[in-house]
Chains A and B, each alone.
Chain A
Amino acid sequence: MNGLIYAFLAIGAAFNALGAVALIRFPDVYTRIHGATKCTTFGSIFSILAVAVYGIAQGGGAGGTMAVRAFLALLFLLLTNPTGSHALARGAHRSGIKPFRAVVDRLEEVGHGHREVP
């Protein structure tokens, strides 16, 4: 059981570290959102799984609470993360930040007024 917990923690830490590296490596806000929110989500999923497994291994009331709350935290993370990154990206594009080195930008061609024109 301990081995499983350590494995989950190691995978989680590795992906979180990759997310941090992505902030330095990637050139603009959109690609950084890819690295910094997605890699860290995947890393956090494994960290939370480690907590849940630890809670189940402990057993009893306290361990059960820990496991249930860990899974709820995972659920809320999966719901709020895409909403937050979508809001960041949409806000960035609406305030005029162009994607760096983009091969296409269909949203720029259409413009943000496309809702009024059917």
Chain B
Amino acid sequence: MRRVAEWATTATLAFVVFLVLASFTGRWGVWAPDELLAGGVIALLVGLATGRFAWSRGGWRLLEPQRWLLFLVYLVGPFLYAMARANLDVAWRVITGRINPGIVRFNPGLRTDFGRTFLANSITLTPGTLTVDVDEGSGDFFVHWINVKDPLPTADAVCGPFPEWARRIAE
């Protein structure tokens, strides 16, 4: 039963994404009937293939709508600001060649797979920091930092407010 729910939910989400992709394409309402059929088949295949992985270890709470709202706020607010600032910083380092690289270790205290993936992706998308590995047991992050200010940093020193937001959105 749980397996069926898993793949049905994944297939539904995939179908919603397809509806957005195929919007404005047909004369029959907004979508053309053959497009809907193709989208349904593809969404089912996607659900069967990935449903098992998507919802393990507390993934169900991702369906709560307030988390999606928080995610949007995070994306256009703190994340975009940090990314733009870091981009200018790295652009300056490209031009001047001033780098001080190293791989540092810190523990942001996240427990779920999704929270860790969320934080790792946020860190990697921000220029200047790159997640090389995550210890799945203890939750330690190994991050390649282009300008090491402190060889034993706290999570805040490397990625600012990201762990707090990852906890709010994903845990």
Contact = CB atoms under 8 A, between A and B. Distances in A.
Interface residues of B, number: 44
B102 A34 contact: no
B104 A104 contact: yes
Contacts of B21: 68-69, 72
A85 B102 contact: no
B64 interface: no
A100 B121 contact: no
Contacts of B144: 30, 34, 89, 99
Nearest to B144: A30
B103 A102 contact: yes
A38 B24 contact: no
Contacts of B130: 30, 33-34, 85-86, 89
Contacts of A62: 24
A103 B127 CA distance: 19
Contacts of A100: 101
B148 A104 contact: yes
A115 B133 CA distance: 11
Interface in A80-118: 81-83, 85-86, 89-90, 93, 99-108, 110, 112, 114-115, 118
How big is the A interface, by class?
35 or more
B72 to A, nearest CB: 12
Interface in A20-38: 21-22, 25-28, 30-31, 33-35, 38
A97 to B, nearest CB: 11
A106 B146 contact: no
Nearest to A106: B105
18 contacts: A25-B97, A28-B101, A33-B130, A34-B90, A65-B23, A72-B17, A82-B123, A83-B121, A85-B124, A86-B120, A86-B130, A86-B132, A90-B133, A99-B103, A99-B144, A101-B99, A102-B101, A105-B103
